[in-house]
Structures are given as structure tokens and as C-alpha cells.
């Protein structure tokens, strides 16, 4: 290889110029802006981040902004339209929707975070074991993952919920968590296979580092950025799953207020033409999910730009080494 490159360079009649080679990287034409100077906020989902911060703050500090007890049934004011004493109106049982929105949002977000935490831990462990295991073990684990992915997620969640019985915050979080890990696990496995033979990983093993030490100290920090956007999207998916279960009547009970349980009253609201019972919780849920989607897409693009830059630098260094041969 070295001799062939030298013969090629010596046979050239004209000297090799710096313009003979050009490094072309992956460029996102959507992010180009006119002019040399770009504003710091351009290309960033600031509106989505601001709306999500407002919703999260309201849910976490719900006791400071609630005007009524969210669980109190005021039968004298059931199905009351928004305005006056009840800012967002009342539902079919006379509960204040404004207070229920902020209190129930805290429950939905809690389920999303707990389920995502569980699924992320399972995915990191499973993907790392698969990436570091011998070829036949890796192939076996990947076949299991593909079979698991072939089963409709909602069907699996419904089946497990029926087995566990009465739904609660932790049971729903557990079921959603153990059924939403394969996507992240495949990404973790791919990243681990690329860095498992790196010098620092081999050195840690030679010094007696256990698998847990190598995993959390050396492997996880290197693929954390690659799965960050998937973690955000998993929170969104967990909230959707909880809302779907509650809407179907197999999720949280009515006395356990969440955005999903509020939407479970849709049939009664349509019969009584109480549009606010469906529209307001649905609007909060939709805005929250859209904000999370925008943040997840931004993180994905940021990771892709970082990987593209690293690939360009690696190609440039390889070219420089080749020229020196």
C-alpha cells in the first residue's frame, strides 16, 4: 500500500496541490441562514422550550395556582361552561377543569418520566451486554429484540395491564417501561460495538475494571448524546400510552386525575355538548407532545451535526497521513 502510493505520487507530472482533495461533509441546508452573522437563537426551538417550561412549572407548582380542589365534586355546577368562577369550566361531575389540568398534568408527566427511566436503564444494560458479547450471543439477543419489536406495543401493554389487574401510577409506569426499551437498546448496541475496542476501554479491563464500572464510567458517557433525543421521545410516547389506556377505560381510575383520565369522559361530553371537557385537556396534551417532539428533533439534528463534524475531521486526518507516506 505504501509503495503504490509513492509510485502514484512520483508518476504525477505536476506537483500535488492542496486543491487536489476536498473534504465534503454532510451539511444540513435547512439550517443555512443568509448573511455571515447568525443570531444565537436561530435554529433553536425556543418557543417549544418556553411553552414546555411553563407547563412543567404549572404542573410542579400546581398547589400555588389551583383555584379549587381538583377532586371536589360540585354537583350544583356540573357541565358549566368556562368563565366566571370556573376558568376552564367543570366536567360531568362538577370538578374544576382548571385545577384538574395542572394536577393531572403532574401525574401524566410523572408516569412519562418513571417509564422512560426504567426503559432507558434496561436498554443501556441490554444493549451494552449485546455489544460486548461474542458474535453468537449478540445475534441471539438481536433476534429476541426483533421479535419483541414485531409485537404491537399497545397490544402488549393492554395484555400486561390485564394480567396485573387494577391500574396505578407505578403499575402503568412499569408496564410502559418494560415494553419501550428495544429502540434505545439497538442504538446502544451499535455504539458499544464501535467503541468497545478503544484504548481506554481495553485499559480499564486490563486494570481489573468490572463490567458495571466499564459500562457507567467509559461506555455510557460516549453514547449518552446519541440516545438523548430518543429518551425525550420516549417520555412523549409514555404520556401517549397512558392517555390511550385511560381513554380506553383500562388506565387510571376516574378518581386518579391525569390528562388521560380526563379524556376518558369524552363520550359523556359529546352527549351533553360540553366541548370544553375534551378540548382543553386535549389542547394541553397536544401542545406538550408537540414541544417534546420539537426538542427531540433538535437534539437529533445536533447529534447528527456533531457526528458529521467528527467524520470530516477523521477523514481530513487520514488524508494528511496518506500524503505523508
pTM of the model: 0.74
In the chain, what are the domain boundaries?
Answer: 59-324
Query: Which range has highest mean pLDDT (7-21, 22-36, 206-220)?
Result: 206-220
CB 108 within 8 A of CB 241: no
Helix (H, G, I), strand (E, B) or coil at 86: strand
Domain 59-324: which CATH number of 3.40.50.720, 1.10.3720.10, 3.30.420.40, 1.20.81.30? 1.10.3720.10
CA distance 235 to 111: 9
Average of per-residue pLDDT values in the chain: 78
**325: confidence class by pLDDT, cuts 50, 70, 90:** low
**315: confidence class by pLDDT, cuts 50, 70, 90:** low
**316: confidence class by pLDDT, cuts 50, 70, 90:** low
User: What would the DSSP string read from start to end of 186-238?
Assistant: HHHHHHHHHHTTSHHHHHHHHTT--HHHHIIIIIHHHHHHHHHHHHHHHHHHH
**37: confidence class by pLDDT, cuts 50, 70, 90:** low
Check residues 9 and 310 and name the one with the higher pLDDT. 310
Would the pLDDT of 300 be above 50?
Answer: yes
Would the pLDDT of 266 be above 90?
Answer: no
The grid coordinates listed for 275 are 366541548
Would the pLDDT of 117 be above 90?
Answer: yes
Which residues does 242 contact at the CB level (< 8 Å), separation at least 6?
108, 111, 112, 172, 176, 251, 252, 258, 260
Q: How far is CA 207 from CA 77, 131, 193, 219, 220, in A?
A: 71, 21, 21, 16, 19
CA distance 290 to 232: 12
Amino acid at each position: 500500500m505504501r509503495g503504490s502510493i509513492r509510485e502514484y505520487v512520483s508518476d504525477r507530472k505536476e506537483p500535488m496541490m492542496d486543491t487536489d482533495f476536498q473534504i465534503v461533509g454532510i451539511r444540513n441546508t435547512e439550517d443555512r441562514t443568509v448573511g455571515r452573522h447568525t443570531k444565537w437563537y436561530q435554529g433553536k426551538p425556543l418557543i417549544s422550550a418556553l411553552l414546555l417550561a411553563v407547563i412543567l412549572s404549572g404542573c410542579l407548582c400546581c398547589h400555588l395556582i389551583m383555584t379549587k380542589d381538583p377532586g371536589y365534586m360540585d354537583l350544583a355546577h356540573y357541565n358549566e361552561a368556562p368563565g366566571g368562577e370556573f376558568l376552564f369550566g367543570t366536567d360531568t361531575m362538577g370538578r374544576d377543569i382548571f385545577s384538574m389540568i395542572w394536577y393531572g398534568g403532574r401525574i401524566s408527566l410523572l408516569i412519562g418520566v418513571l417509564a422512560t427511566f426504567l426503559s432507558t436503564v434496561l436498554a443501556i444494560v441490554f444493549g451494552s451486554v449485546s455489544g460486548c458479547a461474542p458474535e453468537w450471543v449478540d445475534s441471539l439477543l438481536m433476534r429476541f429484540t426483533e421479535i419483541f419489536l414485531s409485537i404491537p406495543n399497545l397490544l402488549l401493554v393492554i395484555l400486561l395491564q390485564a394480567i396485573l389487574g387494577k391500574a396505578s401510577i407505578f403499575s402503568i409506569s412499569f408496564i410502559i417501561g418494560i415494553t419501550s426499551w428495544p429502540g434505545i437498546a439497538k442504538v446502544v448496541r451499535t455504539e458499544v460495538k464501535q467503541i468497545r475496542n478503544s484504548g481506554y476501554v481495553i485499559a480499564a479491563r486490563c486494570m481489573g475494571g468490572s463490567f458495571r464500572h466499564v459500562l457507567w464510567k467509559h461506555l455510557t458517557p460516549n453514547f449518552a448524546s446519541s440516545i438523548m433525543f430518543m429518551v425525550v421521545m420516549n417520555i412523549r410516547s409514555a404520556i401517549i400510552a397512558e392517555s390511550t389506556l385511560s381513554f380506553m377505560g383500562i388506565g387510571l381510575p376516574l378518581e386518579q386525575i391525569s390528562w388521560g383520565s380526563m379524556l376518558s369522559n369524552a363520550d359523556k361530553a359529546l352527549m351533553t355538548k360540553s366541548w370544553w371537557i375534551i378540548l382543553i385537556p386535549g389542547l394541553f396534551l397536544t401542545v406538550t407532545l408537540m414541544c417534546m417532539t420539537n426538542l427531540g428533533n433538535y437534539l437529533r439534528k445536533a447529534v447528527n451535526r456533531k457526528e458529521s463534524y467528527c467524520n470530516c475531521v477523521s477523514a481530513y486526518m487520514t488524508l494528511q497521513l496518506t500524503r505523508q507516506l
